[in-house]
Amino acid sequence: MAQKPTAKKSAGEDPHFAQAVQNYEAGLRAMQERKFDKAKAHFQKVLAGTARELSDRAGVHLNACNQHLEKASTQFKTTEEHYDYAVSLINIGDYVNAREHLEKLSKQVPEADYVSYGLAALDCLTGHVEESLRHLSEAIRHNPVLRYQARNDSDFQNLAEDPRFTELLYPDPGESAPNITPEESL
């Protein structure tokens, strides 16, 4: 017995398909208006539905929305906010992206002690001892208080036994004091 080919239901015949088309169109409009959160919600509804004809296209647009949202989330109002983001990347172990952000910050604010400190920590964590010591020295030169912070920072544990690290964190007190002769102290 031969079966009759079933014709695809049009949007007017299938209310679920009609709803999927409405969500798809609403998602496209929201994308054009650069309202990616709203567009994302509409495309997710299409994917959750039964309209396979639209699901593939909605998936492509959903990926584009996610990319725009991710890019927007990495735009920073201040250099401090950008630095905090780089530190969060270090904390999750994304050292490559953290380095990119810290190097970008280093070019934007070359005298920022916290950027040098962040690079020192990252260099230490990634086994770049010489660079770590150089960046840490630079950070301490800009802000001597960082010497105390580095003493308790677990990011520098790889340098704990290095005498150069110890010299940076515990300088000879006689070096920073001015040379005073016995006659001048009277």
Letter string b/e over residues 118-130, b meaning 16 or more CB atoms within 10 A of that residue's CB: bbbbbbbbbebee
Per-residue pLDDT of the chain (186 residues; tens, 9 = 90+): 455 444 455 555 788 888 989 999 999 998 888 888 898 899 898 888 887 888 888 888 888 888 877 765 567 888 898 899 899 889 989 899 899 999 999 999 999 999 999 999 999 999 999 999 999 999 999 999 999 999 999 999 999 999 999 999 998 776 553 343 434 434
The predicted pLDDT at position 182 comes to 39
pTM: predicted TM-score of the whole model, two decimal places: 0.57
User: Where in the chain are the domains?
Assistant: 17-73, 79-171
Beta-carbon count within 10 A of 61 CB:
21
Whole-number pLDDT of residue 120: 96
Superfamily of domain 79-171: Tetratricopeptide repeat domain (1.25.40.10)
